[in-house]
Structures are given as C-alpha cells and as structure tokens.
Structure 1
Amino acid sequence: MGGIKIVLGLLTLVTIGMIIGALFQVAFIRQLEESSGSKFSLSRRIGGSQSEGRALLSRGLSLWANDEDARVLRLGLIKPEVVSWSPRITILHNFLSPEECDYLKAIARPRLQISTVVDAKTGKGIKSNVRTSSGMFLSSNERKYPMIQEIEKRIAIYSQVPAENGELIQVLRYEKNQYYKPHHDYFSDTFNLERGGQRIATMLMYLSDNVQGGETYFPMAGDGECSCGGKMVKGLCVKPSRGDAVLFWSMDLDGTSDPKSVHGGCEVLDGEKWSATKWMRQKTSS
C-alpha cells in the first residue's frame, strides 16, 4: 500500500507540473500575440518618417532601430496581400510613406502633360482617347536623388527584378471623369522590345487618398464583381489608397505574355487620383 501511495503521489505531482507548464506556455503565447498585434496596429498607422521612427524607438517597438536597409525597405510597415494567382497580383499595403507620396507629386506637378499610349506599329507614344490622364517621367538625373533611389531599391527587392531593369518612374494624375481603358503593359512592337526586352511586371503606387472611383480594374482576375467608377463589373478592382502599391505580372511563369494581365484605370468620380508607375523589363533598359 505504501508503494502505491508513493506512485500516486508522484503522478499527482507530475500532473500538477504539466498543468502549470501548460498555463505558463499559454500565457507566453498570448503575450507574444498581444505584442505582435500592438506592433502591427501601430505600424499600419505610421508613415515611416524620421520623427515617427524616433517615436517607435522611444516605445521600444522597433526591431531594426539602427538598420538602414530595414528603414529603406520599411520592414514591419509593408503588408503584402496576394489578391490573385492568375494573373499574379499582390497589393503591398503601406509601400510608400506620406512624405514619399508628396515628394513624387511635387516633382511631377509643374511638368504634367497629356498622357500618351504606345503605338503598336511604331512603338512611339501617341495621344489617344483610350487614356485621358496627364503625366510625366522622372529624368535620369532625378533617378539619382536619395529618396528616389530608396523607392527604386524597395521596388527591386519586393519585385525581385534588378533596379537597372526598370524604366524611369512615371507619375500620373487623373482628374474627374478621366480614365484609362483596359490594356496590356507588355509590348506588341519590335521597337520597344529591342530596348530592354519585354515588360515583365508593373509596380503601380498610389499617391493620393479621398478619391471616388479611379479603381485599378483587372477584368480577367477573380470570379466575382466589383465597383469600377461607380459601375458593377466582373473581375477584380483595387481601390486607390495613399501609400499602397499593386505589383502585377505581365508575363506568366513560363516566360510568355499573360493575356489575363489586362487592366485599366476606372473613371474618377470625384477628387484627384495620383499614381506612380514603374515598369520592369527582361533586361537592362537602354
């Protein structure tokens, strides 16, 4: 009997120890979840400026306080969201800071001109009612500006396409009633193909908020309906949100052009839609 009591006592102690250990584990996991949640909710609210970075550091929430690359890449701030696998479309929430959005708009505003489209026969830009926005391209010299270089590096890392394979960034403004009808970004002319190869991917960055309409429309993505310029259409629509970016691919995994990557800019109903576009090629653009 004495031996049985000892065994039962030991089993009781082991059981109690296991229960206590499990409770400690649950408490630890919950603490991690709460800590992660507070970091994420805060990171979505901040824009990533130096003053905001100092605020993060003072609260002890920055994991990369002294990491310059992490600051440039906005680690902990950008939230990727895959919205379609065919065509391949990813929304990168909080990709640009408010300062970067304002900076691109300030550079572009004095030099805006009526936008053009690529002529399939000559490969040159021509005016067309397919596209009614106004825009401009940054110059090669402006590409060397520190803030532009940081944006370029971020695009290269998140797209995994070398920065030198990218075209110059184009900034666009769509005013009320302006739009861009559905089209492909890949080329069908030899003129442009000889200058860096085919366009393989596009990074579309939104620079303004408080826009009604102006969604980016992918008619061959998804199997539902969405609002495009106030009209319900079949496909996938991405609503412009300041600082967000849409990365989508014009070429499929086998290296062929993806016809499902057709997209357009829905009509703006109110406000101004500002965006910046970076097209990436198969090889270095010349």
Structure 2
Amino acid sequence: MAGWLFCCCTSRGIDLRRVTQLSWNPRAFLYHGFLSDAECDHLVKLAKDKLEKSMVADNDSGESVMSEVRTSSGMFLSKNQDEVVTRIERRIASWTFLPEENGEAIQILHYEHGQKYEPHYDFFHDKVNQELGGHRVATVLMYLSDVQKGGETIFPNAEGKLQQVKDDTWSDCASDGYAVKPRKGDALLFFSLHPNATTDNFSLHGSCPVIEGEKWSATKWIHVRSFEYPPHATSANGCGDENELCSSWAATGECEGNPSYMVGSDGAPGFCRKSCGVC
C-alpha cells in the first residue's frame, strides 16, 4: 500500500520530490517543507493562549488522564477553523490518500525545557476509543518550530535504528532508536497499522525531552473509519447526543479530553453536548 501511495505523480500542491522514505518497519516518511513558515506561525498563534496540560488515554478504560508520561501542553483546533487550517487538512488528505472525514481535529502541542512524551502507540488498547472511528491508522506530525537540541521524535523498535549515524548534535535520548529532528515546516507521516489493518508494534514512538529552546508541533491522527457523523439531529428541546456511546465517553472524561468532538465550538456544535452538560 505505502509503495503505491508514494509513487504517484505530484498533484494538488503535493511535491513528492520532497518526501523521503525513512523506514518500512514502521512505515514512516518525511516531507521536507510541508508547511510554510507563515502556516507554522499561524497555527502557533491560534493555540498560544489556549494551551492546557496534555492528557493520555488510559489503556483499560479509555479515560483521558494526566500522566508524567506526557508533560507537554496542548489544545485542539476546530476542523476547518479558518482558511489556513482547511488548506492544511486538505493537503494532508492529498498526501496520505486518506479521507478528510477520517481525521481528528489538529492538535497543537508545546514542549518547554525538559518536557517529553515517553514511547507509546497511537493505536488504541481500549474498546471505548475504538468505537469512534476505529484504530488510528496513521499519524501526521508537523513541526512548527526548530529546536536547538533535543525534542526528536524517536522510534525505539524501528528496524533501522542501529544503522542511523548520529553525532553530538543529537540528544542522548535519540540514541535509543531511529530518530527524527524537528525542523520547522517538515511533516512526519507514519502508520500505526499494517496494510492488513493489524497493529504494528514497530510504530512505538515518543518525543525526546527538549534540551535547548522550545518545540511546537501539530498532530493529525487519522482513523480507519469516519471520525464524523451525519448532521446533528434535533431533540425536542434542541439538546441531544449524536451517538449512543456519548454518555459513556463523557463518564470517562472525553468532554475535557476531546472537546472539539464532544462539545464543539462556535458554529460547530459537538456530538455529545447533552452528555457533556453544555445545553
């Protein structure tokens, strides 16, 4: 599947001459200059005054919880929030050949000195999160800033980790696997599932601690099925849920952990507003 995806001709603003295959196990590709400097700065500006402590999904319950495994701060944009965000989302769909509707809203992340995200998988271990769009099949990680040292994305299980040559410009953390340095405008695409839809243990990845400077990034998670639902149905009093699992998702903290989907924003109501108590 991946070989076919990346041998197609350039189209819709995608220049595949800028794409480098990093690994087949996991399937990972780096697009140099995927975003312009202006686009990077715009995404940072949208997020800067709205950051909150990043959460992780509990492996058993699916509940969003705080953890020292992930020490960054972040926030979710709204889908198609403005012209710039819409353009980026369409570009992601063109590059990955995965439908826009299968993607979550873009999450902006900020890492300060010493902050990190320990190695983890983007596919789910719990059934609750799998009900909403199924597993995450792919991740597009866009770097919005340069980092003087540290902050590398690392794949501890990658087959090519021993062949990658590193000098003293890399952090010690980066020596523990195949690593990618954050460069402003670059985008990293990697797959969490094999082409037969089974989970890929090679896709274990993390974010090394920032040593010098700060790191801004934008993440787009893409699922195997649509992450959207039909237009909102209206209950008798104008308040309702769009999925029978809304109450269970709300009980596990998804109103706070995934507000873009659950609660929504101005002009884009969420799908579980009743269970989240916002209407």
Of 257, 270, 273, the match for 2:199: 257
Q: Higher Cα Rg: structure 1 or 2?
A: 1
2:47 aligned residue: 108
> CA distance change for structure 1 residues 180 and 147 in 2, over 3 Å: closer, same or farther?
same
2:181 aligned residue: 239
Given that residues 34 and 186 in structure 2 are in contact (C-alpha distance below 8 angstroms), is that contact kept between their aligned partners in structure 1?
yes
2:123 aligned residue: 186
- In the TM superposition, what is the alpha-carbon distance from 1:195 to its structure 2 partner? 0.6
Q: For structure 1, which segment, 227-236 or 207-216, has the greater mean C-alpha deviation from structure 2 after superposition?
A: 227-236
Given that residues 205 and 277 in structure 1 are in contact (C-alpha distance below 8 angstroms), is that contact kept between their aligned partners in structure 2?
yes
2:78 aligned residue: 139
State how far apart, in whole Å, the 2-side matches of 1:268 and 1:213 are: 5
Where does structure 1 lack aligned partners over 5 or more consecutive residues?
1-63
State how far apart, in whole Å, the 2-side matches of 1:185 and 1:232 are: 20
**Structure 2 letter corresponding to 1:230:** D
Of 215, 223, 227, the match for 1:281: 223
State how far apart, in whole Å, the 2-side matches of 1:129 and 1:101 are: 27
Where does structure 2 lack aligned partners over 5 or more consecutive residues?
1-9, 229-279
1:196 aligned residue: 133
1:128 aligned residue: 67
State how far apart, in whole Å, the 2-side matches of 1:229 and 1:251 are: 28
State how far apart, in whole Å, the 1-side matches of 2:26 and 2:36 are: 27
Of 83, 86, 89, the match for 1:149: 86
- In the TM superposition, what is the alpha-carbon distance from 1:123 to its structure 2 partner? 1.4
**Structure 1 letter corresponding to 2:217:** S
State how far apart, in whole Å, the 2-side matches of 1:273 and 1:111 are: 16
Instruction: Give the structure-2-normalised TM-score.
Output: 0.73
> CA distance change for structure 1 residues 121 and 97 in 2, over 3 Å: closer, same or farther?
same
State how far apart, in whole Å, the 2-side matches of 1:268 and 1:229 are: 9
Identity of aligned pairs, percent? Answer: 46
CA root-mean-square deviation: 1.8
Query: Could you say which structure has the greater relative contact order, defined with CA pairs below 8 angstroms and 6 or more residues apart?
Result: 2
State how far apart, in whole Å, the 2-side matches of 1:235 and 1:105 are: 28
Q: Tell me how many residue pairs correspond in the alignment.
A: 214
State how far apart, in whole Å, the 1-side matches of 2:161 and 2:53 are: 34
- In the TM superposition, what is the alpha-carbon distance from 1:254 to its structure 2 partner? 1.5
2:49 aligned counterpart, secondary structure: helix
Can you list the C-alpha shifts for 1:183-222, whole angstroms capped at 9, x where unaligned? 0000011111111111000000000014310000001111
> CA distance change for structure 1 residues 244 and 191 in 2, over 3 Å: closer, same or farther?
same
Instruction: Give the structure-1-normalised TM-score.
Output: 0.71
Higher helix share: 1
Given that residues 147 and 210 in structure 2 are in contact (C-alpha distance below 8 angstroms), is that contact kept between their aligned partners in structure 1?
no
2:86 aligned counterpart, secondary structure: helix
**Structure 1 letter corresponding to 2:184:** R
